[in-house]
Amino acid sequence: MRLWRAFGCVLVPALYAAPAHSDVAAVAAATYAPYSMSAPTLSDLAICHGFECKYRTQIGLTAADRAALARLLAPGKASPEAERKAVGAAGAWFDKRVAPAVGTVNHVRRAGYTHMYDPKQYDCIDSSRNTTSLLLILDQLKLLRHHTVDVPASRGFFLDGRPPHTTAVLVESKSGEEWAVDSWTRGYGEAPEVMRLSVWKTLE
């Protein structure tokens, strides 16, 4: 386990079976229960930081925050592709919104062993949980019209020559296509990488 942590990410515990895409409550339980966390709400949202959710800062979203998210997601009404682009914009906004409260302003992309347990940084466990929280908030606000939220997905386990990595996931409602929404590979205030999960799983 120490070796895995040296790369900045660990695999999600496999104790919770992936629920059906439409079951938001089950998705939330599978995402947060392994870390003894509650599902996010508009008034009580835990931001993970410092690697493996070692530190958790509670924030609440204001009416102005909800209005900002609605503005950012509005262009996504046009199509699934437009919605994924809008989700990326919302991810960049969210990162800058929470950073002053959490202490993660100017966090680096792909934080690894040199940043381990630094409360100013995120590993992929932190990032995937935080991004999933944002997606679930968007779902609560009924701002997702073309996608549902799924549990984070993982790739790599060293035996296949790749370090473990985890990402948040959206599922396109009509096609069932799964999409990675990966914020760990991005620095402060940058939009997360959004790509087909099948492609994401082939990367190192």
Domain boundaries, the chain: 16-200
Measured CA distances, 13 to 82, 152, 171 (Å): 33, 11, 21
pLDDT of residue 103: 98
Dump pLDDT digits (tens) for 120-130.
999 999 999 99
Cα–Cα distance list, 133 to 7, 37, 154 (Å): 23, 11, 17
Tokens read off for 30: 């599978």
The partner residues of 165 in beta bridges, in order of sequence, read 155
Distance from C-alpha of 139 to C-alpha of 197, rounded to nearest angstrom: 20
pLDDT of residue 31: 95
Q: What is the mean pLDDT of the chain?
A: 90
**How many residues are given for the chain?**
204
Structure tokens given for 112: 């690894």
Residue identified by tokens 């296509």 is 177
Q: What's this model's pTM, rounded to 2 decimal places?
A: 0.90
Q: What DSSP element (H or E) covers 181?
A: strand 178-182
Q: What is the pLDDT of residue 46?
A: 97
Q: Give the residue from 175, 174, 167, 154 showing the smallest Cα distance to 193.
A: 167
